[in-house]
Amino acid sequence: MKYTLLNNDDKALMLKKIGVSKIDDLFADLPQDILLDKLDGLPEPVSEMEIHDILKSESCKNCSSRMFLGAGAYNHYIPAVVDDIASRSEFYTAYTPYQPEVSQGTLTAVFEFQTYMCRLTGMDVTNASMYDGATSLAEAVMMSARSSRKDKVLVSRAVNPIYREVLSTYAWAAGLKVAEIPLKGLTTDFSAVKKLCDDETGAVVIQSPNFFGCIEEPDAESGFTALKEEKKLDLIYTVTEALSLGFLKSPAERGADIVCGEAQSFGSPVSFGGPMLGFISAKERFTRKIPGRLIGLTVDSDGNKVFALTLQAREQHIRREKATSNICSNEGILAVKAAVYLGAAGPQLGKLGKLNHNTASYLRESLLSAGFSSISDEPFFNEFMLRNGKSGFDSAAAGAGFDPGKYYPEFRDCTLFCATETDTMQSIDNFIEKIKSGSVWK
């Protein structure tokens, strides 16, 4: 296939107008010894039908999908309307809305996304998206550090371990220090924060529901709220299962200053892990410190309300090395999808959350009856961890759940399960049958 459109007559005419005799003359500024005749080692071109068949055969190998798997990416039903809208050329073949006069479609949808995220997190400002949950956490920490001018951050061991790894990569590069807050049961030991917190410390990072699915209560009787006040700590509140925002108490009510994480649950499939939909929401004081694009309301020369990119003086293309981040392209169309998704679910979002909770609770109860044992009883949303029981459950063999052992040696004999509205009671019962029949134990 080719997607170019010049025939030989065109080429001749154009070269003549340019004043050269052949195309290679246009490459005269390149070191001539590196010009290639033809790239080596690439497969011969194929037709559209052939690549279709090739990819179909690759995709089939992926058919048997693992069950009850969350751990940062969540299977949710995506209403058909989401892709119907997002697959309109007007949305997906445009770019960053630099020219607001011909971009009100994207601008409005992303402004809606910003609004939705602010409402659900209780924050004042949300950017137009980040790459994913992990980098949004890293950038949130850097934003907080820029703001507080303190270079140490305390991160709960209950935060997604991959996010913590990404954070350390970024922190290493930027020269920030990261210390870990230990667990108490399956939630953060907030009482340990005091000891860890020194004058360099600017922020505390938690995740809720945390990596084990448990709901964190930073506001509970640990003295954390007072300490946060006293030390002017930023509470960075990470969310990986955005659907929980529709059902649980909001991060703002929990004392969050910055909310960041992953909003893939809002209308995007898990897609082997990418693209995802990172976001940062924050209190108003971060408005001029937040990374990435922001859409704002303004007027046009006829006085009508319109939307436009705004506060660009934060960004790399204006501020360069002093920018709030280097981010440029983001996850635009996923933000549009999230807006459509949230408009489709609308006031039923909480009910959907409730269904997730019921389904996961049923799965948990069923697993307990099938030989798994409880680690602790913290409340959860749609994800939870259990001890496998003495004979040893093999999550790989069972094709179900996430084995946390690699990241948490102390939980080597445990499995993290997730259930969403896509898991029916029937599929749970079938799975439990399989477990009871013993075929999925080591």
Ligand X SMILES: Cc1ncc(COP(=O)(O)O)c(C=O)c1O
Q: Which of residues 46-85 bind other proteins (CB under 8 A)?
A: 46-52, 54-66, 69, 71-73, 75, 79-81, 83-85
Residues near other proteins (CB under 8 A), total: 205
* Nearer of residues 259 and 333 to ligand X, judged by Cβ: 333
* Nearer of residues 48 and 58 to a second copy, judged by Cβ: 48
Minimal distance, residue 326 CB to ligand X, in Å: 8
Interface segment toward a second copy; rule CB under 8 A; list 84-92, 174-182, 311-319, 402-410: 84-92
Minimal distance, residue 108 CB to a second copy, in Å: 18
3-state secondary structure of 292: coil
Which of 329, 373, 374, 376 touches other proteins (CB under 8 A)?
A: 329
Minimal distance, residue 396 CB to ligand X, in Å: 36
**For residue 53, what are its two tokens?**
């068949």
Interface segment toward a second copy; rule CB under 8 A; list 85-93, 241-249, 306-314, 369-377: 85-93
**For residue 353, what are its two tokens?**
């959350």
Site string for a second copy, 398-427 (x = CB under 8 A): -----------------------xx-x---
Which of 21, 90, 182, 230 touches other proteins (CB under 8 A)?
A: 90
Query: Residue 58 and residue 10: Cα distance in Å, rounded?
Result: 39
Which of 76, 112, 224, 431 touches other proteins (CB under 8 A)?
A: 112
Query: Residue 166 and residue 172: Cα distance in Å, rounded?
Result: 10
Interface segment toward other proteins; rule CB under 8 A; list 36-44, 177-185, 192-200, 431-439: 36-44
Residues near ligand X (CB under 6 A), total: 2
Which of 328, 368, 396, 425 touches ligand X (CB under 6 A)?
A: 328
Minimal distance, residue 136 CB to ligand X, in Å: 15
User: Which residues, 253 to 312, sit near other proteins by CB under 8 A?
Assistant: 253, 262, 269-276, 287, 293-302, 304-312
User: Which residues, 12 to 51, sit near a second copy by CB under 8 A?
Assistant: 48-49
User: Which residues, 223 to 262, sit near ligand X by CB under 6 A?
Assistant: none
Half-sphere exposure of 367 (CA within 13 A, CB side): 29
Minimal distance, residue 80 CB to a second copy, in Å: 7
User: Which residues, 86 to 125, sit near a second copy by CB under 8 A?
Assistant: 87-89
C-beta neighbour count of 397 within 10 angstroms? 11
**For residue 383, what are its two tokens?**
């994800």
Residues near a second copy (CB under 8 A), total: 14
Do 418 and 74 meet the contact criterion of CB atoms below 8 Å apart?
Answer: yes
SS3 track for 306-329: EEEECCHHHCHHHHHHHCCCCCCC
Phi, psi (deg, nearest 5) at residue 169: -60, -50
Do 161 and 240 meet the contact criterion of CB atoms below 8 Å apart?
Answer: no
Which of 87, 99, 329, 391 touches ligand X (CB under 6 A)?
A: 329
Query: Residue 128 and residue 319: Cα distance in Å, rounded?
Result: 18
**For residue 426, what are its two tokens?**
């029937």
* Nearer of residues 14 and 173 to ligand X, judged by Cβ: 173
318 binds ligand X (CB under 6 A): no
Query: Residue 15 and residue 22: Cα distance in Å, rounded?
Result: 7
Do 375 and 185 meet the contact criterion of CB atoms below 8 Å apart?
Answer: yes
Phi, psi (deg, nearest 5) at residue 204: -125, 130
* Nearer of residues 88 and 232 to a second copy, judged by Cβ: 88
Minimal distance, residue 2 CB to ligand X, in Å: 25
Distances (CA, A) of 92 to 156, 167, 229, 284: 38, 31, 44, 31
Query: Residue 305 and residue 376: Cα distance in Å, rounded?
Result: 53
Distances (CA, A) of 88 to 82, 169, 307, 344: 10, 38, 20, 17
Minimal distance, residue 63 CB to a second copy, in Å: 11
* Nearer of residues 77 and 95 to ligand X, judged by Cβ: 95
Minimal distance, residue 77 CB to a second copy, in Å: 4
The contacts of residue 128 (CB under 8 Å, 6+ apart) are 110, 113, 114, 292, 293, 294, 295, 330, 332, 335
Which of 11, 232, 285, 436 touches other proteins (CB under 8 A)?
A: 11
Interface segment toward other proteins; rule CB under 8 A; list 171-179, 186-194, 196-204, 432-440: 171-179
Among 417, 372, 422, smallest CA distance to 69 is for 417
C-beta neighbour count of 254 within 10 angstroms? 21
Alpha-carbon Rg for the chain in angstroms: 25
**Residues found near ligand X in the complex (CB under 6 A):** 328-329
**Residues found near a second copy in the complex (CB under 8 A):** 48-49, 52-53, 77, 79-80, 84, 87-89, 421-422, 424
